[in-house]
Structure 1
């Protein structure tokens, strides 16, 4: 049986998720990462983790299709048995997300429903379905956004769903405490990735404006977030529970 801790990370093929996967491996964890459509990129991340001396598997998952979760966890069971020599994993990281930029008055029901399914309903039920495979004494890391604190026009729907995840995190921590499962949520600030069409990374005006609002004088990079999530999946973080950790460089303080 494997004694190495295993993390299941959704959305691990690029951006923040890729950095999380890399830093989990650097912390000595094996990784099951999911991708939606970027199979080649996911395979590349698996290769990087393998090069670090850890084991990794990439599985396809659409977190907006809740009725596909049972089949997904059958794949997880197979991967745990065949690749990792065990039946359970230790940490679940709900990282998958998409951008939604629309003024409150113009947000459509279709936009709202799609975002709600990915950011709240999907995470809610994926975590529920994961519980039988999650080891007692393990942990869950949810991902929020600085936008639950920093009010930026055109993010009302997205930020509201992330706020829902923040409340859910506390309930999960309370209800899963009897199993010694910690649950925390990380809230990144503005990060240079292709999220939201890459606007923070590629639009110089947006980038400069966000940097001017940040105490440390720049926008974030994936490398600023991956280590925070990985830390929460280590024994050093064992007494951190039910917390919102904002990693924004001090935006709008």
Structure 2
């Protein structure tokens, strides 16, 4: 029987924490004694299930609704976070922010519509930019931010021009955040996953055997990534052991397309 996690006194806010990589990151953090505020867009039942799983481990958690595409809602969301911090934790700050929430749109460069481009920009770039800005007063000095990118900023696969361009901008933003927030002792890094077996993008990597096998054949470690592979990297990057890592792009792809 596993021992309950030893509380660290830290709180992490994970966007898109009800499913996929965000869910796994939330669970991995909780297993290390970090309390979690996770967000969901529409599936409250999924978010509640993650909260229940975290609390069964002996760590505290709460789920809050958030649409990262709606920047006008960020002030209200920050107020809700402040209320939860005061009521549930009797404190005014959280320690870690994981900007994970996102979508994938597969379309060739020539066929990408302006509506698709704008949707990706609002969710993948404008969202984390202004959400982080809105949450800065609640992020503790000495805290940490992890932004999520993609291996597609290093290697190019047809159909992801707009998506990868947004994530490339997030990687640049990460370095600027690290520079400008360094005076507060806040470290900012970006994790770039390779192909992972989740429901992201319709679950193609997970469900299509031909695609899964092809990616595995192009990966040095010989398989497709799993959610645990990424959640563990995020949790490790937020640990005190990695407090001196800053402004870095950490690719977790098993060695894709080397």
Would you say 1:67 and 2:83 are equivalent positions? no
Specify which of 89, 97, 104 is matched with residue 92 of structure 1: 97
Aligned to 1:233: 238
Q: CA deviation at 1:53?
A: 0.9
Query: Residue 136 in 1 paired to residue 141 in 2?
Result: yes
Deviations 1:127-169 (A, max 9, x none): 0011000000000000000000010000000000000000000
Query: How much does 1:121 deviate?
Result: 0.3
Query: Following the alignment from structure 2 to structure 1, what is the Cα–Cα distance between the partners of residues 89 and 16?
Result: 20
The one-character-per-residue Cα deviations of 1:210-246 (angstroms, maximum 9, x if unpaired) are 1111001110000100011011111111000000000
Alignment partners' CA distance in 1, 2:224 and 2:8: 38
CA contact (8 A) 2:14 2:36 kept: yes
Q: Aligned equivalents of 2:147 and 2:107: distance in 1?
A: 24
TM-score scaled by length of structure 2: 0.96
Q: Deviations over 1:84-121 (max 9, x none)?
A: 11111011100001011000000000000000000000
The residue matched to 1:96 in structure 2 has which SS? coil
Q: Is the 8 A contact 1:145 1:188 kept in 2?
A: yes
Name the counterpart of 2:87.
Answer: 82
* 3-state SS, counterpart of residue 98 of structure 1: coil
Task: Give, in whole Å, the separation in 2 of the partners of 1:52 and 1:232.
Answer: 21
Aligned to 1:17: 22
Contact (CA 8 Å) 1:70, 1:129: kept in 2 or not? Answer: yes
d(CA) in 1 for partners of 2:219 and 2:239?
A: 29
> Is the deviation greater in 81-90 or in 142-151?
81-90
> Does the Cα contact within 8 Å between 1:55 and 1:84 map onto a contact in 2?
no
Q: Which runs of 5+ in 1 are unaligned?
A: none
Partner in structure 1 of residue 170 of structure 2? 165
* Mapping of residues 38-77 of structure 1, within 5 Å: 38-77=43-82
Retained in 2: the 8 A contact 1:102–1:155?
Answer: yes
> Of residues 151, 157, 174 in structure 2, which corresponds to 1:152?
157
Q: Distance in 2 between matches of 1:228 and 1:27?
A: 13
Partner residue, 1:200:
205
2:221 alignment partner, one of 211, 216, 221: 216
How far apart in 1 are the matches of 2:11 and 2:91? 10
Choose 164-173 or 230-239, whichever is displaced more: 230-239
TM-superposed CA distance for 1:3, in Å, is: 7.0
Q: Partner residue of 2:121?
A: 116
Q: CA separation in 2, counterparts of 1:122 and 1:60?
A: 14
CA distance in 2, matches of 1:182, 1:141: 9
- Runs of at least 4 residues off by over 4 Å: none
